[in-house]
Structure 1
Amino acid sequence: MYNKLMNNISRPAMAVLLAAVLCTGCEPDSSDIDDPKNPEKAGNFIPARNKKFIYKVESDGGTTGTVTQNISGSKDSSGIAVYNLHAVVQFKDSSLTMDNKIFTLNGKTYTEIKVPDAWYKYVELFGKMPNIKVTKAAVSGYPAYLIMQNALKEGSVITVDGPLAQEQLIEYTNNGKFGSSRQEIGQAPGSGTVETIKVPAGSFVCNKFSYEVITKITSKVESKEETANGSEKITVWMAHGVGMVKQESAATLVSMIPLPTGEIKKIVTNTASTTTLQKIE
């Protein structure tokens, strides 16, 4: 059900933001300046402050939308500048606002993996369905950190630090029958290559990262249980001084829908989306 909601609200853009939140919001410091003599010492993927980065999202179903990002604030945490990347995802019939904490350390960009705002929206909407009463909504495995190596070089890596998986659990009654839905989300490490890419906003030298996000959904109604697996393959181009330039995503989404009869309906959908930087204001 959560995947279904994500698909209806802004699923293509959620993949966008999974990578987009890797962009940091601070000015380069002395430890992050490009050094041609030392490729290990590199600038990070920083969207310029006081600017907005506007992206176009296109999905294979004909859906189009925009994502607008900017740095909306910062604070000091144990001597590390932590920034907030603010993003507004806008589609024809819906919009979603996201905020993520971002910082850089030792030549890497760290982004906190937080509970998606859409999760809370889903819990609210799910509880309003006929004959449904939500009895528990809980998450675990947070926080974790998505880590991107900053150096523009062959073999740069993107990894996750923290719990191996993030989990989202809902327990409910449907016409008095107990049910639950648990979604586990994990990311496989990925590697990068260096590539120059041209988009409407200009031409950029990028690290091209490829990685995969894997989901497992377990849905129960009384003694019946269904399990389904989904995945999302993501390729993202990141440039110093800009952050995300382009992203391509191909996903297999799984929805588990509890029916009034007590049965569980499984729906599998294959989707693809492309997000491209259009302009910088």
Structure 2
Amino acid sequence: MVTVRRCLSLLLVSLVLGACSAPEPGGPTATPQAANSPTETDDSRTRAANSPTRAANTTTRAANTPVVVLDPGHNGGNASHPAAINRQVPAGRGRSKACNTTGTATEDGYPEHAFNLDVARRVGEQLGERGIEVAYTRTEDDGVGPCVHERARIGNEHDADAVVSIHADGATDPGAHGFHLAYSAPPLNEAQGEPTLRLVEALREGMRDAGFPVADYLGEHGLSGRDDLAGMNLSTRPSALVECGNMRNPEEAAAMSSAEGRRRYAAAIAAGILAYLGR
């Protein structure tokens, strides 16, 4: 009985002491809440710390995405700005040459610069549909330039997996026909060696498979190594220039002047680029 009373007494004392030590409302109770704030802040910091990780992952995915720079030759405003396009710019191999030229045209007046841009846009659309990042040296057809050395710089700055310049030739012999691919030779850097040769060969096969004939008036089996093309000489990326055909040849001029013909040229070039990229 004494033990029971003693236990009850101890219990009452404990309750009283507990009541005395309890915090008052509005007093120290705010402290635990304040103590939770750093926890919330830490969570925020953790989320913020995760953001760079997600950004880094995004960057990694972007880095793994092939980049292709398409270079539609010439420009629609070149002819009206002779001083600008005739000024001398670096051309590689210790040389200089004119900033740009006007390009050629069909006998009916369809200009090469318009053909180049239309085909480049069509190629870009097809590559984009396959998950490839595409950049252009120009996107309009009423400007001047850019100069040939600037076109090379654009490809270099994009760290492009491939740079493809799109042109049409203007051989004076109307009987001359067929496509050819120009590239920098002898190579000035590693990218201009084996990677560029693989690129031009893939483009050649893409054109052949589409039914376009190899040029019968220059190059060798559709390939033409050149040391005078600034865009190729100054490139540190695998680069090729596609001369789709001869605009002075009636049949090829008719194809280039038609939307269907330009679609076929673009499909062939895109197929070559995709084969080169292993896509």
Q: Which of the two has greater helix per residue?
A: 2
TM-score (norm 2): 0.29
The structure number with the bigger radius of gyration is 2
**Greater RCO between the two (CA within 8 Å, min separation 6)?**
2
Q: Which of the two has greater strand per residue?
A: 1
